[in-house]
């Protein structure tokens, strides 16, 4: 009998939707023309690129000309920070950002930019007064919309009001949130936003950066005139179009998917039964389906491997080497006890997971914990 396989690491990457796959295949196999060329064969690719920009803009309440296509979330984040470096702005961010923000911020410091890393509470939220006190009219604020380890959703709109009052430039890394919660850039008050296709059932290697009309942007890659001269290079039409289709599909199914994921969470915790008393959930106000759990008496890395042997793919908040356990910067930042941090695992469910999946995961966890 074949070993059962359950993918429960959707915060790392997601299964592409069939609609996205079908669209991608068309522009790989049939309508493969270079969208920058003037002849008729490329017209389909050019039109598809234009339509993809319209679809994505519509999904987030933006204008099509405010969308710049990139190779993914890391590039979009880097572009936003490099823009702040070029404008010699002081940067304000949090201690739990993705390394795609934190490492460019370190680079910014080496270039002479002042960077302030704000602390967070144990639940992963930032103290609003810390943001307010750190901002000036020459600040660049970058706060992630939802944390990739904890799932905690930050009050981005509240932070946006503070940034706008100070006339600061406001960027949010929405890579983990895009396609999973409602996002309207105008309502949130953000000037820039990063997203990545593979996090919402699109392809890997493609993403976008939203830049509000009127916000100065420095070119990322110099060369051709693609992306209005801001990012040179032949457009990755198959991936861009597939990403747009996947995002529209998720936005249209948002209520349905949210209800489904909340139901999966309920069943999961119900099936854990008495084992639940040994489990603590980290974070607060989480993304649907994202569970950061610390399990008393266990190491997260060991749990990951035990579950992997049972056919279950999850993630962990710590990594072991031959001598010690490396706790993630996020778990360190929320200042939870060491034993709680080292026992943390992340189960992230997606729209294709089933009640049978979460029942099996709960049964396997219970078996491991009670052995």
Q: What is the pTM of this model?
A: 0.96
Q: How far apart are CA 328 and CA 333, in angstroms?
A: 9
Q: How confident is the model at residue 179 (pLDDT cuts 50, 70, 90)?
A: very high
**pLDDT tens, residue by residue, 238-286:** 999 999 999 999 999 999 999 999 999 999 999 998 888 899 999 989 9
Q: Is 18 exposed, middle or buried (0-12, 13-18, 19+ CB in 10 A)?
A: exposed
Query: Is the pLDDT score of 233 beyond 60?
Result: yes
Mode of pairing for the β-strands spanning 318-320 and 169-173: unpaired
Q: How confident is the model at residue 1 (pLDDT cuts 50, 70, 90)?
A: very low
Per-residue confidence (pLDDT) for residue 2, from 0 to 100: 58
**pLDDT tens, residue by residue, 184-225:** 999 999 999 999 999 999 999 999 999 999 999 999 999 999
Q: Is 258 exposed, middle or buried (0-12, 13-18, 19+ CB in 10 A)?
A: middle
**Which residues does the annotation mark as catalytic?**
320
**Mean of pLDDT over the chain:** 95
Q: How confident is the model at residue 317 (pLDDT cuts 50, 70, 90)?
A: confident
Q: How far apart are CA 250 and CA 19, in angstroms?
A: 11
Torsion of CA 104, 216, 213, 187, to 10 degrees: 50
Cα–Cα distance list, 173 to 35, 169, 209 (Å): 28, 13, 9
**pLDDT tens, residue by residue, 114-169:** 999 999 999 999 999 999 999 999 999 999 999 999 999 999 999 999 999 999 99
Per-residue confidence (pLDDT) for residue 322, from 0 to 100: 41
User: Is the dihedral angle over the CA atoms 304, 305, 309, 315 positive or is it negative?
Assistant: positive
- In the chain, the domains with their CATH numbers are 6-14+253-369 (3.90.1150.10), 18-252 (3.40.640.10)
**Helix, strand or coil for residue 98?**
coil
* Degrees, nearest 5: CA angle 187-289-9: 115
- What's 125's DSSP letter? P
Query: Is the pLDDT score of 80 beyond 50?
Result: yes
Q: What percent of the chain has pLDDT over 90?
A: 93
- What's 226's DSSP letter? T
Query: Is the pLDDT score of 321 beyond 70?
Result: no
Query: Is the pLDDT score of 325 beyond 80?
Result: no
**pLDDT tens, residue by residue, 49-59:** 999 999 999 99
**pLDDT tens, residue by residue, 93-121:** 999 999 999 999 999 999 999 999 999 99
């Amino acid at each position: 009998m074949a070993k059962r396989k359950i993918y429960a690491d959707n915060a790392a990457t997601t299964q592409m939707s069939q609609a996205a796959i079908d669209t991608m295949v068309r522009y790989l196999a049939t309508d493969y023309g270079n969208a920058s060329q003037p002849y008729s064969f490329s017209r389909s690719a050019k039109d598809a690129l234009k339509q993809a920009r319209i679809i994505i803009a519509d999904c987030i309440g933006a204008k099509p000309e405010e969308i710049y296509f990139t190779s993914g979330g890391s590039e979009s984040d880097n572009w936003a920070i490099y823009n702040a470096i070029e404008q010699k702005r002081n940067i304000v961010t949090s201690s739990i950002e993705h390394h795609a923000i934190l490492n460019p911020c370190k680079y910014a410091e080496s270039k002479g930019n002042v960077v302030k890393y704000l602390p967070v509470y144990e639940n992963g939220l930032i103290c609003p007064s810390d943001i307010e006190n750190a901002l000036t009219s020459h600040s660049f604020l970058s706060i992630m919309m939802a944390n990739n380890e904890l799932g905690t959703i930050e009050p981005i709109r509240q932070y946006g009001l503070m940034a706008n009052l100070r006339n600061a430039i406001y960027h949010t890394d929405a890579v983990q949130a895009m396609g999973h919660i409602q996002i309207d850039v105008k309502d949130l008050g953000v000037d820039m936003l990063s997203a990545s296709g593979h996090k919402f059932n699109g392809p890997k290697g493609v993403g976008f950066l939203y830049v509000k009309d009127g916000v100065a942007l420095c070119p990322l890659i110099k060369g051709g005139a693609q992306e209005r001269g801001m990012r040179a290079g032949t457009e990755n039409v198959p991936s861009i179009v597939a990403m747009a289709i996947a995002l529209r599909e998720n936005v249209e199914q948002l209520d349905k998917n949210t209800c489904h994921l909340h139901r999966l969470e309920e069943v999961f915790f119900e099936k854990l039964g008495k084992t639940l008393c040994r489990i603590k959930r980290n974070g607060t106000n989480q993304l649907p389906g994202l569970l950061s759990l610390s399990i008393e008496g266990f190491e997260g890395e060991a749990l990951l491997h035990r579950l992997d042997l049972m056919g279950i793919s999850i993630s962990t908040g710590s990594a072991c080497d031959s001598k010690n356990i490396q706790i993630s910067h996020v778990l360190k930042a929320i200042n939870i006890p060491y034993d709680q941090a080292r026992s943390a695992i992340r189960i992230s469910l997606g729209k294709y997971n089933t009640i049978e999946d979460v029942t099996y995961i709960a049964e396997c966890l219970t078996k491991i914990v009670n052995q």
